Amino acid sequence: MTVEQSQPTHRSVPSSPVFLEVAGIHKRFGGVHALRGVSLVIERGEIYHLLGENGCGKSTLIKIISGAQPPDEGHICIEGLTHTALTPIASLSAGIETVYQDLSLIPNLTVAENVALTEQLVKAQGRLARPIRDAELNATATRALAAVKLPTSAEFLATPVGSLPLAVRQLVAISRAIATQAKLVIMDEPTTSLTRREVDNLIQVVSDLRSHEVAVLFVTHKLDECYTIGGQAIVLRDGECVAQGDIHNYTKSQLSHLMTGRDIDARRYRHGSASDETLLQLQKLEYRGYFQQVSFTLKRGEILGITGLMDSGRNELAQTIAGVMVASSGTISLCGKTLKLRCPADSIRNGIGYVPEDRLGEGLFLDKPILSNMVAAILDDLRTSFGTLDQRKARAVAQEQVDDLRIATPNVDLPVQSLSGGNQQRVLIGRWLTIKPQLLVLHGPTVGVDVGSKDTIYKAIQALAERGLGVIMISDDLPELLQNADRILVMRDGLVQQEFSADLAQEEDLYRAMLGTAKGSQSE
């Protein structure tokens, strides 16, 4: 493949605008050639978007730059100094900070400790066997948290990170990068769990970093955000850099083609229609402090989208339907039967499947085989008369889902962590299809998933609805809801404020409703 720009020349002059140069990087894992001679240049104060399908080599490349893995061939030049490989401390000391998709936060430590930890590690060259002053930690954390518009109160600084919502943890991880006064900040899917308002905040943070000559490298699948931020697009496919240039020189369809090697358009996926039969009915459902008076119906074969800001109550509503949280009052009826959902097992017994937003922390057993992950919800159905797992039946069930959902794996015995993000998400969806659900609740169904895998997942969701399954999609990806849903409910302040027909609504209509500036009547 040819790269759509000339190969970078080696520079070693300290006054050069080039901060980092990657030259001829190769990386192999067994028989997999993950990176094939990748070369690129990062200049001070510039914005870059690293694009490509899951499995194309993006994560491997940023791990090499951040010192988590060594390259097999090639070198990295930072401010004129050439390295054949980096260690994590060497990378941090050089001014490279990475916010990984799993955030790499320590849940039992406080916000202040998490934010300031990296700075302390760099100062001590990786050694922390020394006293750390709370005042010093708090001063560093306060400055960094203020930059991303998070609270700086003593109470928030002392809060254990593990108790925070995912979106807030994401901003804490980003503030940690700011705390180190980095020269290059790499953000792996930084807006995965952020609402549009929080994304706007992050864009302002990036603008501030750029004004201080800090380079930012985004690893992302959200092309709309890339165009809003601007900068350079770097496209990887099958381990090779196939394009680099100003992102505004490419259309979305051109970038999608470069990433996948095939044409993927932004068409509306939803063409089917729901039946007249009511599948699910919520009446005045309430979870005190989060949402109240939520009433709606869902038809068999219907796809219902639900969106809102992080504090709108949408997340808690999804968890209540899934039995993770227990409603304070109101009723949930499925197929005319009023349900008492006191735990997830109650929802599962009644044919409700739930794909959580955080697939890594709440959904998958990463070190376990694909087979074990796939059949986890139906173990009782697969037991032999001796109480052991019927491996033949379990393998058949898992393989059926692998085939139906087009999960790319040579066999179901591999650990699920060996799969790309898109394939991991399909494993999680497949798990809940094994219970033969009546209702599937998808919370952020394509979070951290590339454009090609999104296409596959969307087609699978449409096929499920056409088979008569009821689907609820909770998402802040507004184009996703407009492409896939029949109706969209917008929540704000714990209430369902408005309802839209997805084939008629515009993205801006939904956003204004989320903020409370939309025109139109409130949903009954």
3-state per-residue secondary structure call for 81-106:
EEECCCCHHHHHHCCEEEECCCCCCC
pTM value is: 0.66
Comparing 14-18, 52-56, 447-451, 482-486, which segment has the lowest mean pLDDT? Answer: 14-18
Please say whether the beta carbons of 259 and 450 come within 8 A: yes
Structure tokens at 88: 């994590």
Structure tokens at 231: 């900068």
Q: Which residue has the higher pLDDT, 2 or 185?
A: 185
What is the pLDDT at residue 514? Answer: 87
Residue 111 DSSP symbol: H
Mean pLDDT of 119-146: 76
Structure tokens at 322: 């899934």
Q: Sorting pLDDT into bands at 50, 70 and 90, what band is 477? A: confident
Cα–Cα distance between 373 and 353 in angstroms, integer?
A: 14
Per-chain mean pLDDT for the chain: 87
**Helical packing angle, 421-433 and 391-404, nearest 10°:** 120
Cα–Cα distance between 134 and 16 in angstroms, integer?
A: 39
Contacts of 439 (CB under 8 A, 6+ apart): 279, 280, 298, 321, 334, 351, 352, 353, 469, 470, 471, 472
- Give φ, ψ of 166 to 5 degrees: -60, -45
Comparing 128-132, 164-168, 227-231, which segment has the lowest mean pLDDT? Answer: 128-132
Q: Strand, coil or helix: what is 354?
A: strand
Percent of the chain with pLDDT over 90: 52
What is the pLDDT at residue 44? Answer: 93
The upper half-sphere exposure of residue 489, i.e. CA atoms within 13 Å in the direction of its Cβ, equals 24
Comparing 107-111, 221-225, 264-268, 432-436, which segment has the lowest mean pLDDT? Answer: 264-268
Instruction: Give Dmax (Cα) for the chain.
Output: 74
Burial class (CB in 10 A: 0-12, 13-18, 19+), 420: buried
Q: What is the pLDDT of residues 154-201, one digit of tens each?
A: 999 999 998 888 778 888 988 888 887 789 999 887 776 677 777 888
Please say whether the beta carbons of 304 and 473 come within 8 A: yes
426-456 per-residue burial string, b: 16 or more CB within 10 A, e: under 16: bbbbbbbbbbebbbbbbbbbbbbbbbbbbbb
Alpha carbon distances (Å) from 98 to 75, 124, 357:
19, 19, 22
Cα–Cα distance between 135 and 152 in angstroms, integer?
A: 13
Comparing 366-370, 460-464, 514-518, which segment has the lowest mean pLDDT? Answer: 514-518
Cα–Cα distance between 317 and 241 in angstroms, integer?
A: 42
What is the pLDDT at residue 67? Answer: 93
What is the pLDDT at residue 296? Answer: 96
Pick from 414, 498, 399, 480: nearest CA to 443: 480
CB atoms under 10 Å from CB of 496, counted, come to: 25
In DSSP terms, which residues pair with 415 in a beta bridge? Answer: 369
Q: Sorting pLDDT into bands at 50, 70 and 90, what band is 260? A: confident
What is the pLDDT at residue 243? Answer: 92
Q: What is the pLDDT of residues 316-357, one digit of tens each?
A: 999 999 999 999 999 999 999 999 999 999 999 999 999 998
Please say whether the beta carbons of 54 and 47 come within 8 A: no
Cα–Cα distance between 353 and 324 in angstroms, integer?
A: 12
- Give φ, ψ of 332 to 5 degrees: -120, 120
Q: Strand, coil or helix: what is 79?
A: coil
- Which domains does the chain possess? 18-95+182-260 (3.40.50.300), 278-515 (3.40.50.300)
Mean pLDDT of 146-151: 88
